[in-house]
Structure 1
Amino acid sequence: MAYCYDGKTYETIKEMAEEYGIDRERIYSFRHRGWSLEEAMRMCIDDVRGRGRLFEYNGKLYRSPKALAEEYGLPWNSLSHYMQRCKTVEEAVKSCKEAQEKKITLWGKQYQSRYEVAEAFGIRETSITFRSYTRKATLEEIVLELLQKEPIYFEGNTYNTLTELCAKYQVQPCNVFERLKYGKTLEEAVYLPIRNNGKRYEVEYEGKVYQNAAFLCREYHISKSLVKGQ
């Protein structure tokens, strides 16, 4: 039996596989699952792995929005969102790219995307996007709400609320909120030195004074619990 692919005829699938440098067993596998020879060859040539729905963009196949997003430097959560709303993959990618090109201003500071905003404040990009489309609220209002009501990821740990995070780092939530409104990132807002006349949180170690134990631990990359245990 002869096999035709891309305008050329082959006596066997083995011969065709060797010419393209691909595994003939994968071709057999796709054929057994009901794929046409053209589809099976393309899957092998593009080396598409995994299971699930296929996405095609610019002549290449992808197994997930995440794989496509990573290749084009797009936030995959955003691309997934646009794929659900758009009729074609091309339209989704275009919309996602356009959204990334529009800089977002939050408290006087510019961000390239909602994803970058989410990274800066330790919140989920999907939550920002959902509220942006379902509520008549400013980005500032959305971020403040999420900081108070949803988990926050900060320095490798997850906190239920900003209040819980502030308690861990011994800072007042009102001070952090005020700093955020002045354009500080969450990290800057938490670690920015504050005036403390009472000095009740200060810690001295090897001749250096730290605002509190959390600052000391951060510099030496150790757990705060170890300091408390001394």
Structure 2
Amino acid sequence: MIPVSVKWQKELFKDVEIDTTQPPYVFKCQLYDLTGVPPERQKIMVKGGLLKDDADWSTLGVKEGQKLMMMGTADEIIKSPEKGTVFVEDLPEEEQVVAVGHTAGLFNLGNTCYMNSTLQCLHSVPELKSALIQYSHSGRNNDVDQSSHLLTVATRDLFNELDKSVKPVAPMQFWMLLRKKYPQFGQLHNGVFMQQDAEECWTQLLYTLSQSLRSNGSR
């Protein structure tokens, strides 16, 4: 190790050690830590001209205590942000939905993954969501039975809740009305609701929604 002094602008850095077993680029990295001047901008005067990154120290005649002159412009100091960092989990739920870019999931109410899968698929259809938004509580006419109307309203309300929440939603009202409209989805085995077919759920629900929305004038 050879201790030297380095003069840069109005500053003098003393006892900067040069490891002669390493190329000069390593020395420049040391100076970057001290001055903020990147190695590629450093111009260090040594015997024979400017110090090159791959020069051989043994040919430069650098001596202990020698003063080296360096020129170069430091990087601009990074300023602290005017506003502090805000983490997603600290945002209100409505803003979390926008920041995260996706909506909430659905709780499994006991072998209801078939129903949840169907709902999530339908929820991803913009045209259906738009039609449901236009569907009102008073939108039922004589062509649609009460259970179909209520199931359509429950679907609309559940989709709205999914859009506004980042936490899992429990589709209790929807599930109750689905079983009322289609009793096969309420079958029990040893006191536990049975797993059902997702395609059947999709077909029945889509049929109900299409009938309700058509009668309401939505397309």
State the TM-score, normalizing by the size of structure 1: 0.28
Q: Comparing both structures, which one devotes a greater share of its residues to helix?
A: 1
State the TM-score, normalizing by the size of structure 2: 0.29
More contact order relative to length (CA 8 Å, sep ≥ 6): 2
